[in-house]
Chains A and B, each alone.
Chain A
Amino acid sequence: MTAVRTPNLLDVAGMGLAERVARFGRPLMKPGPGLDPEVLHREVLETPTELELAGADRLDPVDLEIFLHKLDSMIDDGRDVCKYLSMAEMLQAGDLGVGVFTAKGDLAGMSTGVLLHALLHYGPVKYVLKHYVDDPTVGLADGDIFFFNDPDAGGVHTYDHFLMMPVFWESELLAWVACGGHQGETGSRSPGGWSPEIGSRYEEGLHITPLRVGRNFEFQTDHLEFLLNSVRTPRQNSLDMKARLAVCVRLRQQLLRETERRGADFVAAGLRQSIKISAGLARRRIASLNDGVYRSVVFLDTIGIDDGLIRLPVEIHKRGEELVIDLAGASPEPGIGPFHLRWHLARAASAAALFPTVFRGLRWSIGLFDPVKLTAPPSIVNAPSRDSGTGSGSHTGRVVVQGLLLAAMRMLHDSPHRAGVVAPFAENLLLIGFGGTGQYGNPIAGGPANGNATGQGARFDLDGEHSAGFFWAMVVDCPGPEEQERKFPWVYLFRNRFDRDVCGLGRHRGGVGLTDCFVIHGTEGLRFNSVGTGSRFTKNYGLFGGYSGASQPRIVVRGSDAKALMAAGAADLPMSVRELADRRRISGRYEFGHPNIEGESCSDGDVFVLARGSGGGYGDVLERDPAAVLDDIAAGVTSTELAVRLYGVVLTEGRDRVDEAATAARRAEIRAERLRLGRPYDEFVADWSQRRPPPEALRHYGDYPIPTQLIDDRDCPDPREQG
């Protein structure tokens, strides 16, 4: 008989790290139908299968290298095919992931694209293996096709759709393949996804835990029609489902061909070995870094349905060859809005910070997580409630990752791997989705993938590149204006023209992201949602004294005369956000707001401005080479006024050269001013501690300045105490 324990409230702040890892190093969400948190936090490598053991002796280093090279080729091909065959803009732009897994569901190889996709899909694979294989009403057979999109089951948010397929060799389960990405339309309460104002998950559309939608490599019509009937764009979703299936079938065929050539044991052992190699290399890499605790604190400025500060601290505890990422001290679970993050998404998200920097140059697989543990007490970053909306959990994840990156860069700077030091990629992402009738009279539901052209953070030795990619993804495209104007009913007033003074400044500056300004054209019936963060409190952080990239609001000009001005050939149409907002040459009702809005309508002639964010800077602005500032002015990304005011760089009268004497004088002046403003540390802390954000900014914050985290230990037992 199990003894009933009395409630015992534990203060997280008083716990040691080992206890926090034991209690909170796993998803704290409650189990549910199709949802089993246990499978989401297994050790990185399951115990080997007999086939994997049998093949282990056959792997020599060269054979394995060639096999992994081929595996990566197959996966990259799968990514390309998914892009080519899909219809949703985000998928065409590469907002997707493809993965190959061992028979027990460990990720052995993954595509470029959005890293966290494949890093989550072990969840549904392991769920099927644990719960369905032996269930006679489900089972598992060659040719089965499973669909899933529930973030709690190992998806990202409901707007991302995935397929997975087992790979059998003769009668033996050899591997799994999975593929998918951002679909957009998912039958949520607003067209095209992104519903920032939801109260709970039940307004976020379909939540499909692993569901067999096909047998014998074909969709079952009834299952497919159920899914398509649940969304507003059945034609698009149908095509994209076929694209995913084509990728899974192709990957399966290629794996089987390799099996035919080399043997099933070789392939099975090769997949397993790929994970072990990554794990070993990750450990070696970590071991080469200085032991210590590295900290940062970052803030979210909205939960979608409401604005306010959310505290997101990150600590990296580095000892020996292991890292612990500790997210204790975060704001509590708000319970409303879509910004709740689950543990497994937080861990997968950490790849966006760690893989390109700390693990730079190592082959990607789940093995890189072998020496990494993540712990997060119940809070917005490890939300326990089943009802919490998670549609924008990835946004919260992004902010956590910004904090992780800032802390990790402190760890990496004094190491042999300094080449990986980079300020955070721009992440004040503003995403927008439209639904309604397009310019051809066609139904549309989706949004432009311009978030794929944000600015890169500065490097320790280089400026960030402009419009270089997407925070989450390594190699993604941003479609051009013509491609988008063909797809969506609008014309750009300006888009591919860099904005001035928006990137993070520093010894090396961040890259500038795109700013879109478009006029709705050729439709009368559109509704839209937008979602994002950072319009009040930027998250494009600078590094080591570098400035942050600017925050950016959403701007809409209703009932504008922009098209009439164009037809008249107006000479002074705005060509930048500042011109638009300051001069108001375009008539209409100007709305400046935070990004999160839902179910609004817009009409022909309305003007939208959506900035995509610029990267943070690195180092002191006064150390920037004046010639580089001059180049920035020529490139249109820095104004002469800002050059003087912040960089201390003065140009000659012709503005084509640096006035070196005046620059030296101006920089001396700035340094003197800094000294004048300088204060003893204790005095600063004493003063700073008296300050407090306004109450409306702290509605969802928890206790200020550090949210208290009292845990009922029955909810988060320490497994060590349970023996």
Chain B
Amino acid sequence: MPSADLPPPHASPAPSGPATPNLLDVDIGGTFTDAFVVLGGRQATGKSPTTHADLSDGMFAAIGEAARRLGRQPADAFAAADVVKYSTTVGTNALIERTGPKVGLITTAGQEDTIHVARSRSWADGMPLEVQIDRTRARRPDDLVPRSLRVGVRERVDCFGTVLMPLSADDVLAAVDHLVRQGVRAIAVCLTWSFMNPAHEQQIREIVRDEYPDSVLGRCPVLLSSEVAPKLDEYRRSITTILSAFLAPDTEEHVIDLGHRLRSAGCRKPLLVARNIGGVASASRTTALHLLGSGPVAGLAGAARMASDYGLDRVITADMGGTSFDVGLVLDGQDRNYEFDPVIDRWRVHLPVIANYSIGAGGGSVAFVTDAGELRVGPRSAGSMPGPACYAQGGTEPTVTDADVVLGYIDPDYFLGGAMPLSRRLAERALRRRIADPLGIDATEAALRVRRLIDGVMGQEIYRQTALEGHDPRDFTMFAFGGAGPVHAADVAAYSDVETVATFPHGSELNAYGVATMPVMQTYERTRMIELFDGEAHTDAAGAFNEMVDGLVELAERDMAEEGFGAGSVALRLELDMSYGGQHHTVRLESPRMRLGGLADVAAVCDAFNAVFADAYGAGSIHPYGGILVQLFRLVASASGSQLTDRPRLAAAPAAAAAGGENRPEAREVCWPGSGPALTPVYERGRLPVGFSTEGPALVSDVDTTVAVPGGWHYELDDHRTGWLTRTGARP
């Protein structure tokens, strides 16, 4: 169990130091809206159901609850706030339900079907593995922009940025005229090689502005791919630009409404928005795409802060809810591990999205037997309606939660603190009819198999994100979140070789806490191929390298100044995507030099790249002989030393709770994999004293979850009420 000088999230007041600003941080999730509030150095959390009709209602309710816990009126909280930040999933619905505006696309003539061709196999993007390999039944999603709204204009630029064919203004006018007649409300422009030479895209915007002023056209934004995503690959660049246009109205309307309501409530500070590329930024510097998945990324930031405070440099976050199992990594205290080739919904995008992987595995995952007589669990979920069979809402398909009830992990009379009684009988019946009878086993054995299989699948996902990414899972600590997370954490950890698991009280508020820890941050990217090593010698690439960096730094300083941060309070980090020779794939590294002074600096960057590459793919794979290239520059600017980045530190558990209470466990029969049914002690976490420890098998119950401690595992509660599971026995 690591030592720590700070506790996990908990809704309890405690001093946080005199420098801490008053913070209102909110995560608007699909089901619940959580608030993390710091007022006068004291902290509290609040919770409300998400109010989809008007998201601000839930946000205000959650903040209000937290304020009241601190003995303050909600109005005081708003008036006193120094910073208001939030993460959300709003915008996703516009994508899923295709409720965005009609978008037109202007592209280079001869390439009008780029977004349909995509990468050819893109019908498989964003789909589960079994769909990906089922080419016979391949189905592409409907195009975000139908063919009738994709218009080509004559122009051509080559890979050096040289204009081979001038832009035809006549074509542009005809294209815009066509799109306007079709009723488009936004125009995306993506021309071939525009990230090397954006002149033609800029000319198109000028022509639209000149010929179709707002007074004629109404508001019809023109988004240029060379500004939204100035990177190689016209498909991803087009999609990123189109999605930005598609999601903008809903998101902007929502953010503007929130701003208005906050001001009406007495708040004097601008609203800052958490982004899926990390950090927060003002709403005006945030595109709609940045909000997608920003909640889990905020959670990862919170986990990174907790990892740092526990002195852990390798943490894997595992969040198992009703429908999905989300995995993120914290390495060396940082959450900035980018998803390679990110897919949003069914489309690949050009965004440095912070990696947070999700598979369809949760308490609601449905178990079934295939025609071939094989047991499968998920990815389909019973959802919240009808939900697992034990919910007694009409569901007849057995789920993971049903297995947990039948095996005794979940107390059917104390689910959600007793607020929702479950039916063990219905759970058992579903398992018997759908699993046990077809396989010729009894319901308990069926439940055991369902549990083992889902734990194995989840363990696989962690294995995939660690071992297959070049890490040793044994070096990691798992932070288990979500209602179903701690119930399965130890077994999942065992399948993935992780030896230590942390479970937190009120873990569901992690995202809101994470928002509070996120600094103001801007990220800038540019594709530019620069050779640093030609296969035999380092090159004199310093000039071209520095020119790129200077351009990005200028942008960063301008934008951060507009956010209110002078150059002295902005920390810059240069990241490079690099490769050997003609490799298309790149490896990211933090550049050891911001600018290159000469060949020694060039060599330092190459050495750093070789080292990172060897870490990822083995020392035998490095290949300087093929040449070493920079393919992409990424500058990350974050505000430092400012009021906003004085991150909150969570308070210790209240003395009364920590002091203990009764420690006499109840007991119930639980069926454990490998050892069978056993009368198992059940501890109530809220009544356990700090320092409490026990050996498995045992259960530790809480209002929103239960921690399962199998045999061969040790459980200990630290002084911040974090429960630590440590393996002492053999793996499954």
Contact = CB atoms under 8 A, between A and B. Distances in A.
Interface stretch (A126-134, A244-252, A322-330): A244-252
Contacts of B119: 477-480
A261 B463 CA distance: 13
Contacts of B372: 281, 284, 362
A563 B582 CA distance: 27
Contact of A497 (B136, B152, B617): B152
B672 interface: no
A469 interface: yes
Nearest to A563: B164
B121 A477 contact: yes
A77 B464 contact: yes
A217 interface: yes
A478 B164 CA distance: 25
A453 interface: yes
B460 A70 contact: yes
Interface stretch (A30-38, A49-57, A195-203, A565-573): A565-573
Interface in A220-273: 235-236, 238-239, 242-243, 245-246, 249-250, 254, 257, 261
Contacts of A29: none
Given A284-B372, A468-B120, A496-B117, A84 B156 contact: no
A603 to B, nearest CB: 17
Contacts of A453: 117, 120
Interface string A62-86: 1001100110111011000101111
B111 A494 contact: yes
Interface string B462-481: 01100110000000000000
B31 interface: no
B110 A84 contact: no
Contacts of A86: 583
B135 A496 contact: no
Contacts of B112: 496-497, 636
A217 B460 contact: no
B134 interface: yes
Contacts of A456: 135, 138
Nearest to A357: B136
Interface in B591-641: 617-618, 620-623, 625-627
Interface string B430-463: 0000000000000000000100110011011001
Interface stretch (B54-62, B228-236, B300-308, B700-708): B228-236
Given A92-B584, A459-B137, A483-B584, A475 B623 contact: no
A249 B132 contact: no
Given A73-B464, A496-B112, A485 B159 contact: yes
A235 B464 contact: no
A236 B581 contact: yes
B120 A85 contact: no
Nearest to A254: B467
B456 A496 contact: no
B52 interface: no
B231 to A, nearest CB: 10
A422 B626 contact: no
A239 B375 contact: no
Interface string B151-163: 0101010111000
B269 to A, nearest CB: 43
Contacts of A487: 582
Interface in A92-140: 92, 94, 112
B374 interface: yes
A485 B158 contact: yes
B246 interface: no
B558 interface: no
A452 interface: yes
Contact of A467 (B109, B116, B170, B618): B116
A475 B132 contact: yes
B463 to A, nearest CB: 7
Contact of B138 (A357, A465, A477): A465
B110 A356 contact: no
Interface residues of B, number: 78
A92 B582 CA distance: 10
B513 interface: no
A522 interface: yes
B120 A569 contact: no
A94 B495 CA distance: 30
A423 to B, nearest CB: 11
B132 A112 contact: yes
B168 interface: yes
Nearest to B585: A84
Contact of A575 (B110, B156, B168, B731): B110
Contacts of B621: 85, 242-243, 245-246
Contacts of B148: 634
Interface string B120-133: 11011000011011
A569 B166 contact: yes
Contacts of A245: 620-621
A575 B495 CA distance: 56
A544 B598 CA distance: 69
A482 interface: yes
B113 interface: yes
B535 interface: yes
Contacts of B193: 482, 485
B628 to A, nearest CB: 12
B116 A567 contact: no
B261 interface: no
A699 interface: no
Nearest to B732: A63
B632 to A, nearest CB: 13
A656 to B, nearest CB: 10
Nearest to A452: B120
Contacts of B123: 465, 468
Contacts of B116: 466-467, 496, 498
B375 A482 contact: no
B380 to A, nearest CB: 15
A482 B232 CA distance: 7
Contacts of B495: 66
A490 to B, nearest CB: 9
Interface string A486-507: 1100011111111000000000
A623 interface: no
A625 interface: no
A481 B120 contact: no
B463 A70 contact: yes
A463 to B, nearest CB: 10
4 A-B pairs closest in CB distance: A494-B110, A84-B585, A66-B456, A478-B120
Interface of B: 109-114, 116-117, 119-121, 123-124, 129-130, 132-140, 146-148, 152, 154, 156, 158-160, 164-166, 168, 170, 192-193, 232-235, 372, 374-375, 449, 452-453, 456-457, 459-460, 463-464, 467-468, 495, 497, 529, 535, 580-585, 617-618, 620-623, 625-627, 731
Given A474-B135, A477-B120, 10 more contacts: A73-B460, A235-B625, A239-B623, A242-B620, A281-B372, A284-B372, A439-B159, A459-B136, A462-B137, A485-B159
29 contacts: A62-B449, A74-B468, A87-B626, A92-B583, A235-B626, A236-B582, A236-B626, A238-B623, A242-B620, A254-B468, A356-B134, A357-B136, A420-B136, A465-B139, A467-B120, A469-B120, A475-B133, A478-B117, A480-B114, A481-B111, A491-B158, A492-B192, A495-B111, A496-B113, A496-B117, A497-B112, A514-B117, A575-B152, A636-B113
